[in-house]
Amino acid sequence: MQLPPDNFNPAPSVAEELEPGLRRILAPNPSPMTYRGTNTYLIGTRDIAVIDPGPANSDHLDAILAALGPGERISHIVVTHTHLDHSPLAAPLSDRTGAQVHAFGGPTAGRSAVMEQLAASGLAGGGEGIDTAFAPDVTVSDGTVIDGDGWALEVIHTPGHLGNHIALALDDLCFTADHVMGWATSLVSPPDGDLTDFMDSCHRLRQRTWRTFHPGHGAPVATPADRLDWLVNHRQSRETAILNTLADGPATARSLAERIYTEVPPALLPAAERNVFAHLVDLMGKNLVSPIESLSALATFERRV
Ligand SMILES: [Zn+2]
């Protein structure tokens, strides 16, 4: 679901200072999935951390290197998750700078047990674009502090959009990547996305007081707590709609999506179906629904209460 239009439209490939020691460079990869493109962040004033180098695009690599002023060098590369619009430029940037790549792990790291089971049973991803070649130099986990010259980034493991997704805290700023985006709700598509994990990650972020969220796509979020509440409420209203519709009788994710997402164009119905399936797996975990036969994306589900 998209948020109301904003004025976010920075020039791609230009480093823009958001505050001292924090710059953003928009990658030139706009699309219906990435909005204006991927936001790459540069942290620091001497030794620089690059958060999410972005897609495999040599112009964007040049733009990141060109942003460095006298006395600046890239000392750390940090990847929030292994989608193709975030991680592929990490390796070329590392080759050019010698900086190590820090991330939670490879493409399937952090995957939940139920999603492992679905993947093993043959459920393919929904085409979100996984960077299957990605391998970090340094593996980080929840609570790891990545220390640099004048800055420290704390890793917060925020699975949901992807099992290996991390957010990064810089004092009271949080780089939320695709967990909280500036322009739309996050995609949660099994078997890579897990809605139970996504909601838990929302609640974890909500426990702290943040000044601003800097997302992977779209404008900074100036009211982080309100945005998290909105995200959670949005998901809860979808859940209610699914449970209410299942009260009319057992149904598949496809037929639920057709009845609930009446406003979406037909081209987006497969994405809506994935979203409903993510909810059904979450509701299964809460013992509120169950598949009539074995669990699969095509299964018919019934309410248990
Ligand atoms: Zn993503």
Distance CA 183, CA 225 (A): 16
- Specify if 9 maps to a domain: no
Among 204, 223, 242, the domain boundary falls at 223
pLDDT in tens, 164-203: 999 999 999 999 999 999 878 888 989 999 999 999 999 9
User: Of 198, 223, 248, which residue is a domain's last?
Assistant: 223
CATH of the domain at 273: 1.10.10.10
- Whether the per-residue pLDDT at 97 is higher than 90: the answer is yes
Task: Please tell me whether residues 175 and 46 are part of one structural domain.
Answer: yes
Ligand 1: distance of its center to the CA of 291 in Å? 28
When pLDDT is averaged across residues 105-117 and rounded to a whole number, the result is 94
Sheet holding 166-170, edge to edge: 145-147, 152-157, 166-170, 173-177, 212-215
Task: Give the mean pLDDT of the chain.
Answer: 94
Please state whether beta strands 100-103 and 73-78 pair in parallel, antiparallel, or not at all (unpaired): parallel
Locate 134 and state its tokens: 């990605």
Residue 126 has pLDDT above 80, yes or no: no
Domain co-membership, 65 together with 99: yes
In DSSP terms, which residues pair with 40 in a beta bridge? Answer: 25
Q: Decide if 46 is inside a domain.
A: yes
Residue 117, domain CATH:
3.60.15.10
Please indicate, yes or no, whether residues 196 and 284 belong to a single structural domain of this protein: no
On the question of pLDDT at 158 being above 90, the answer is yes
Residues 6 or more apart in contact with residue 300 via CB below 8 angstroms? 250, 251, 252, 291, 292, 293
Residue 8 lies in a domain: no
Domain that holds residue 131: 15-223
pLDDT of residue 265: 85
DSSP string computed for 228-253: HHHHHHHHHHHHHHHHHHHTTS-EEH
Distance 109 CA to ligand 1 centre (A): 14
Task: Confirm whether 10 is domain-assigned.
Answer: no
**Tokens 């820090």 appear where?**
102
**Which of 164, 190, 223 represents a domain boundary (last residue)?**
223
pLDDT one-digit tens code per residue, 34-68: 889 999 999 999 999 999 999 999 999 999 999 99
Dist. CA 134 → ligand 1 center (Å): 14
User: Same structural domain for residues 255 and 217?
Assistant: no
pLDDT (tens digit, 9 = 90+) per residue, 256-272?
Answer: 999 999 888 888 888 88
Q: Are residues 70 and 183 in the same domain?
A: yes
Cα-to-centroid distance, 130 and ligand 1 (Å): 9
- Return the SS3 of 216: coil
| pLDDT score recorded for residue 264 | 85
User: How far does residue 173's CA lie from ligand 1's centre (Å)?
Assistant: 20
The CA 87 to ligand 1 mean position distance, Å, reads 10
pLDDT, position 73:
98
- Alpha-carbon span 297 to 190, nearest angstrom: 9
pTM assigned to the model: 0.95
Examine the pLDDT at 20 and tell me if it is beyond 90.
Answer: yes
Instruction: Please give the distance, rounded to the nearest whole angstrom, from the Cα atom of residue 293 to the centre of ligand 1.
Output: 32
CA of 199 to the centre of ligand 1 (A): 16
Which tens digits make up the pLDDT trace of 192-248? Answer: 999 999 999 999 999 999 999 999 999 999 999 999 999 999 999 999 999 999 999
Residue 3 lies in a domain: no
Residues forming a β-bridge with 74? 48
CA of 48 to the centre of ligand 1 (A): 23
**CB–CB of 101/246 below 8 Å?**
no
Domain total in the chain: 2
CA of 247 to the centre of ligand 1 (A): 33
Tokens of 65: 């290197």
Q: Does any domain span residue 61?
A: yes
Q: How confident is the model at residue 122 (pLDDT cuts 50, 70, 90)?
A: confident
Indicate left, alpha or beta for 127 from its phi (over 0: left) and psi (-120 to 50: alpha). left
Residues 94 and 156 in one domain: yes
